Amino acid sequence: MAATDVDVFSNEEKRSLSLGGHVGFDSLPDQLVSKSVTQGFCFNILCVGETGIGKSTLMNTLFNTTFENEEASHYQNGVYLRPRTYDLQESNVHLKLTIVDTVGFGDQINKEESYKPIVDYIDTQFENYLQEELKIKRSLFNYHDTRIHICLYFIAPTGHSLKSLDLVTMKKLDSKVNIIPIIAKADTISKSELHKFKIKIMSELVSNGVQIYQFPTDDDAVAEINSSMNAHLPFAVVGSVEEVKVGNKTVRARQYPWGVVQVENESHCDFVKLREMLIRVNMEDLREQTHARHYELYRRCKLEEMGFKDTDPDSQPFSLQETYEAKRKEFLGDLQRKEEEMRQMFVNKVKETEAELKEKERELHDKFEQLKRMHQDEKRKVEEKRKDLEEEINAFNTRKVAAETLSLSQPLKKDKDRKN
């Protein structure tokens, strides 16, 4: 092909042609599938809900296995996220499943900051992926994608409406992750109450502009089932890993004195619907949405923040490299300036402390001189006192001697007097 053809190529209209025979590129999807199967799949679920609402039990029920989990306590100081990765296999398909739990959510008395750790976690996963993408030597196909594909938001079955914390958190999350709200522990709501509750929740979400995940209706194969499922949101689920004998079968259920709630019975709860939608039909779509919508939004915001633009004021496409170089120079210049400042500060501080130390030394010296002088004064005084004391003692002794001699001569005198 000549060089000129290459330039015109992009503007040319594509013509569709009909084939004369079977070429064979209809096997492309199969090749893709076999490649994905060998690579293995990866899926990340984030479970947000109060402590004890049934997140771990539902995960166990969904994947029909027991992920090790200790009960969380209600007395955490804040919310923190606990990601756990498991390797599952079904037929010949490998799944690397990561379940992220929110520990301590909804337990604090002041819940204003509760959504922050969750948002930060999601952003961090996006950031890691972005970093990997921007690397010079990158290996995206090998990269363990930790971005959250789905957020299951567990709503407490109060029967009235959403809680204020739920509304605030979902609003913060709806632009970052696919949210599917579910009503947890649904065996405490009767059918009529459930209907009203679902309508109330959906109307509250709509009126507050919260965008939850809608099952895709553009693919013909699944459009019908997806659109009917959309009408059943939020799903009212019951989870259980215990098996109960009902009739002549053993099913997963919860046994009450008044009856048995079967998890997989569609008239009891929407668990089967959730499993269909989440795992069997739309898992791949969830991953795509995460990458194509949420991740792209994050990437765009992040790069705009850093100062990158797609077109500069002259409408010429900016090259990423040039912008990058310019940014780098600016950044290095900033660093140098900061270093200079810090050095100056350091030098100043050293001077100040030196001056202070000198002052203190002088003071100490003065004090020492003063003390010495005082000491000498004291010594002199003590000397004088000693001298006085000695004189007194001498005087006393002489008086004593005089008194004794007097007393000796006294009786003589008396004798003399008597004699006289």
Partner 1 sequence: MTTNTRYKNRPVKAEDGEEKEYVGFATLPNQVHRKSVKKGFDFTLMVAGESGLGKSTLVNSLFLTDLHKDRKLLNAEERIHQTVEITKHTVDIEEKGVKLKLTIVDTPGFGDAVNNTECWKPITDYIDQQFEQYFRDESGLNRKNIQDNRVHCCLYFIPPFGHGLRPVDVEFMKALQDKVNVVPLISKADCLTPTEIRKMKDRVREEIEKFGIKVYQFPDCDSDEDEEFKQQDRELKESTPFAVIGSNTVVEARGQRVRGRLYPWGIVEVENQSHCDFVKLRNMLIRTHMHDLKDITCDVHYENYRAQCIQQMTSKLTQDNRVESPIPILQLSTPDVETEKLIKMKDEELRRMQEMLQKMQQQMHEQDL
Residues that bind partner 1 in the complex, under the rule CB under 8 A = 50-54, 71-75, 107-112, 114, 156-168, 184-185, 187-188, 190-191, 204, 208, 254-262, 267-268
Q: How far apart are CA 104 and CA 68, in angstroms?
A: 18
Closer CB to partner 1, residue 51 or residue 146?
51
Q: Are 220 and 179 in contact (CB under 8 A)?
A: no
β-partners of residue 88 are 95
Closer CB to partner 1, residue 68 or residue 71?
71
From the CB of 124, what's the least distance to partner 1, in Å? 24
Closer CB to partner 1, residue 73 or residue 336?
73
Q: Are 261 and 251 in contact (CB under 8 A)?
A: no
Closer CB to partner 1, residue 212 or residue 286?
212
Q: Are 67 and 56 in contact (CB under 8 A)?
A: yes
Tell the residue number behind the tokens 């996006």, with chain if given: 126
Q: Are 181 and 213 in contact (CB under 8 A)?
A: no
Q: Are 111 and 7 in contact (CB under 8 A)?
A: no
From the CB of 129, what's the least distance to partner 1, in Å? 31
Closer CB to partner 1, residue 4 or residue 110?
110
**Does an H or E element contain 254, and which?**
strand 249-256
Q: How far apart are CA 203 and CA 201, in angstroms?
A: 5
Residue ranges in 232-319 assigned as alpha helix (H): 271-275, 283-289, 296-306
DSSP state of 219: S
From the CB of 267, what's the least distance to partner 1, in Å? 5
Total Cβ atoms within 10 A of residue 299: 16
Q: Are 111 and 117 in contact (CB under 8 A)?
A: no
Closer CB to partner 1, residue 171 or residue 302?
171
Closer CB to partner 1, residue 141 or residue 258?
258
Closer CB to partner 1, residue 248 or residue 267?
267
Q: How far apart are CA 179 and CA 214, in angstroms?
A: 9
- The DSSP secondary structure of 66-79, one letter per residue, reads ----PPPPS--SS-
Closer CB to partner 1, residue 128 or residue 255?
255
Closer CB to partner 1, residue 250 or residue 336?
250
From the CB of 180, what's the least distance to partner 1, in Å? 18
DSSP state of 307: T
From the CB of 35, what's the least distance to partner 1, in Å? 44
Tell me how many degrees the CA angle 121-124-130 measures, rounded to the nearest 5: 150
Give the CA distances from residue 142 to residues 41, 286, 343, 352, in Å, rounded to whole numbers and listed in that order: 11, 20, 44, 56
Q: How far apart are CA 278 and CA 369, in angstroms?
A: 88
Residues 6+ apart with CB under 8 A from 232: 198, 270, 273
Sign of the C-alpha dihedral computed for residues 195, 198, 202 and 205 taken in this order: positive
From the CB of 28, what's the least distance to partner 1, in Å? 47
From the CB of 331, what's the least distance to partner 1, in Å? 39
From the CB of 104, what's the least distance to partner 1, in Å? 10
From the CB of 210, what's the least distance to partner 1, in Å? 10
From the CB of 266, what's the least distance to partner 1, in Å? 10
From the CB of 123, what's the least distance to partner 1, in Å? 21
Q: Determine phi and psi for 181, rounding to 5 degrees.
A: -80, 140
Q: How far apart are CA 93 and CA 37, in angstroms?
A: 6
Closer CB to partner 1, residue 13 or residue 71?
71
